[in-house]
Amino acid sequence: MAVLKVLVIDDEPGIRSGVTRILGNFHVNYPFMDEDYTFEVMEAATGEEGISMIEQQNPDILLLDNKLPGIQGVEVLEYIRNRKFDTVVAMITSYASLDVALKAHKFGATDFIPKPFTPQELKSSIENITKQQYLKRITHRMNQEGKKIRYQFLSVLSHELKAPLNAVEGYLRMMQEKQMGENIRDYDNVVERSLQRIQGMRNLILDLLDFTKIRLERKDEKIEAVNLADIASGAIVTVQPYAIQMEVNIKLDVKSDAVIMADPTDMDIIFNNLVSNSVKYNKPGGEAEIVINGDESNVVVYFSDTGIGITESDRENLFTEFVRIRNERTRNISGSGLGLSIVKKVVELYNGTISVESTPDKGTTFIVRLPKKPQNNS
């Protein structure tokens, strides 16, 4: 339950007490809101008293009469605008000439409540203002979270790129100074290492972009019917050049209907990561298989390989951000440590699950279960 502070500035005691009485047990809730809103009402009889309370209490909602003893309501509005208070203002007045209305609107008034007003008229205005306040708070929260995520993105990016950039710079200086002689072929190994480092940096940047996209509000999400068999085929085509190089054979077995309601980009992230891993962590001459099965409610996808496998201790942190399995077999395999954490976040966005079964030296199977229709997150 959230509480909004309401300040009513009016020289008529009956108006002030009426607002307090009407809003005393009133609450607002819309289906899109995550909690109910109630109201704490404060009263001021003059503009000067009202400004003092605004300074002290910083109310969320201001119900403001224009015709006041001393400074007028429009002057209070101008004061609020100049001081940049985050207060939503509704004018309550029986003297609302067109000139006053235009000035009030210019200085930020969002509604006008005529005197005398009924309880329902006041409640209707408060409902609309509450919705505005809720949306402003959500927007502010999104902006703050966006700033935090952008900072984290830049921090991680600068940290993770520092080592490979230093390595590439070192290799280039080695070539510039001809430390290995004049024969260009003597630098083949150096060039190969540089290319590997650059590829690693590229993968890191792409993974970080996916990661921030998942973490931020998903404004561009497009839910449509997606055939996971097509997504799987596309992922196989993407990784095929590397699979040929590794001599890994990739199979696709679609056993049942594979259409779900989802954003195709999200499905690409899941399949591209898991299919790529099934090749990257495989053995030369190994096999990778994608099996798509399911029932009326869910699609289950199995990503299997005959690769190096994962130990039980490594499986515990497999989906943790920036955690990579480091051992003799993986030290030459590039990766950001973000891929599987991104996959898990995407799967969970659809109320799905991901699990892993693995035996060292024999292979690994990732099992992804996704509902065919979107479900409401509770």
Provide the pLDDT for residue 183: 85
Distance of alpha carbon 323 from alpha carbon 272, whole angstroms: 19
| 8 A C-beta contact, residue 80 and residue 23 | no
DSSP annotation of 325 reads: -
Provide the pLDDT for residue 219: 45
pLDDT by residue for the chain (378 residues), tens digit each? Answer: 789 999 999 999 999 999 999 999 899 887 666 678 899 999 999 999 999 999 999 999 999 998 899 998 889 998 988 888 888 888 887 755 556 666 777 777 878 887 888 899 899 889 888 887 777 776 666 556 556 655 655 565 565 566 667 777 877 888 888 888 888 888 888 787 777 667 666 766 666 666 555 544 454 567 889 999 999 999 999 888 888 988 999 999 999 889 999 888 889 889 988 998 899 889 899 999 999 998 889 999 999 999 988 888 778 778 876 555 554 554 555 555 567 888 898 898 889 999 999 998 899 999 999 999 866 544
SS percent in the chain: helix, strand, coil, step 5: 50, 20, 30
Whether the ω angle into residue 31 lies within 30 degrees of 0, i.e. cis, is no
Q: Which residues pair with 42 in a beta bridge?
A: 7
Distance of alpha carbon 150 from alpha carbon 159, whole angstroms: 14
Sheet (strand 109-114) strand order: 37-44, 2-9, 61-64, 88-93, 109-114
Go through the domains of the chain in sequence order and give each one's CATH number: 2-117 (3.40.50.2300), 223-378 (3.30.565.10)
Amino acid at 193: R
Query: To which residue do tokens 């289950």 refer?
Result: 300
Distance of alpha carbon 56 from alpha carbon 71, whole angstroms: 19
Distance of alpha carbon 308 from alpha carbon 328, whole angstroms: 11
Q: Which residues pair with 91 in a beta bridge?
A: 64, 112
Distance of alpha carbon 361 from alpha carbon 200, whole angstroms: 25
Global pTM reads 0.49
DSSP annotation of 147 reads: H
Residue 62: CA count within 13 A, CB half-sphere: 31
Distance of alpha carbon 97 from alpha carbon 211, whole angstroms: 54
pLDDT tens column, 121-145: 899 889 888 887 777 776 666 556 5
List of residues 6+ apart from 25 with CB closer than 8 A: none
